[in-house]
Amino acid sequence: MSHRTGGATKTDARPAGRGAPLRVLLTNDDGITSPGLLALARAVSRVATTFVVAPEHERSAASHAITLHKPLRATRVSLDTVDVPAWSTNGTPTDCVVLGVLDLLAKPPDIVVSGINLGANLGMDLIYSGTVSGAVEGALFGIAAVAMSVTAFRDIHWEPAADFAAELVGQVAEHGLPSDTFLNVNVPNRPAAEIAGVEITRQSTRRYVNRVEKRSDPRGRDYYWLTGSAETEESPAGTDAWAVAQGRISVTPLRLSMTYEELDPVLRSWTLPVPGR
Ligand code: MN
């Protein structure tokens, strides 16, 4: 077993063993009843042995939170429209991947897929996204991982994204992914025939603006509601937000390490004495 061993030499994200059936763990942040998760399970179960471990209710924007201060419970459930082993948990997407990999599945999966999320995960959404963090946790275990989202909140076309996920799972199984990397996929919300192509992209810097609404409750006390909308500035060609604006599926290769090498020489020119010297 090779989880959490770090380094580039481990055999993570390897192509599935010859003849061994591919095993895929699905999670999401919209909850176990999400139609996006069900569509994903139906599509992936056509190409792989599929397991679902997902939050019992929506945990969108949970980011990489884990549950440390209360018991975690996992309940075996039957899913609508698809017959695969499934568990509902009172945890976050990250908790779900941990429970799936370390306990619920008889052995770790070959691939983790998180989604299909209701709503895009583009640019700085990745910082907040529970969907993306489900994939990140897979990558932290040394398992090839993919986050899947559809770029709208209503009247969703799930099937094109689900079918693309099934194809991508086959490609990931065939080629593997390097250590400590994962894929973030955004599918434009339109019928398959109207999807303009597939673009390999980089993460944009798209972020949210106008994020706090202050209101008054019936007792006259202030309260806040976090809200906001994506900035409308157009993202540069080659980015995730640009690709979906062109009607293309965006596939972004990402890594877990956040080091920004270009800042290193700049910081070396700062004055940073050891305290007391
Ligand atoms: Mn969500």
Distances (CA, A) of 77 to 33, 60, 66, 85: 10, 21, 22, 8
Tell me, what's the pLDDT at 5? 39
- Distance, CA 238 to ligand 1 centroid (Å)? 25
- Token pair belonging to 182: 């994962």
Tell me, what's the pLDDT at 2? 41
Tell me, what's the pLDDT at 141? 98
- Going by the DSSP 8-state scheme, the letter that residue 45 receives in this structure is T
> Which of 44, 1, 11 shows the shortest CA–CA distance to 25?
44
Distance CA 12, CA 193 (A): 35
- Distance, CA 39 to ligand 1 centroid (Å)? 15
β 86-89/74-77 pair status: antiparallel
- Distance, CA 31 to ligand 1 centroid (Å)? 8
Distance CA 143, CA 136 (A): 9
Task: Quote the distance between the C-alpha of residue 86 and its chain's center.
Answer: 18
pLDDT tens, the chain, 277 aa long = 344 333 333 334 445 455 689 999 999 999 999 999 999 999 999 999 999 999 999 999 999 999 999 999 999 999 999 999 999 999 999 999 999 999 999 999 999 999 999 999 999 999 999 999 999 999 999 999 999 999 999 999 999 999 999 999 999 999 999 999 999 999 999 999 999 999 999 999 999 887 899 999 999 999 999 988 888 889 999 999 999 999 999 999 999 999 999 999 999 999 999 999 9
Tell me, what's the pLDDT at 209? 85
pTM comes to 0.92
Q: Can you give the three-state secondary structure of 178-192, one letter per residue?
A: CCCEEEEEEECCCCH
Task: Quote the distance between the C-alpha of residue 127 and its chain's center.
Answer: 11
- Distance, CA 61 to ligand 1 centroid (Å)? 7
- Distance, CA 113 to ligand 1 centroid (Å)? 14
- Distance, CA 51 to ligand 1 centroid (Å)? 19
- Distance, CA 109 to ligand 1 centroid (Å)? 23
Going from N- to C-terminal start, the domains of the chain cover 19-204+234-268
Tell me, what's the pLDDT at 18? 55
Tell me, what's the pLDDT at 19? 67
Contact criterion met (CB below 8 Å) for 119 and 150: yes
- Distance, CA 132 to ligand 1 centroid (Å)? 9
- Distance, CA 220 to ligand 1 centroid (Å)? 32
CATH 3.40.1210.10 is the classification of domain 19-204+234-268:
yes
- Distance, CA 96 to ligand 1 centroid (Å)? 14
Tell me, what's the pLDDT at 3? 42
β 229-230/86-89 pair status: unpaired
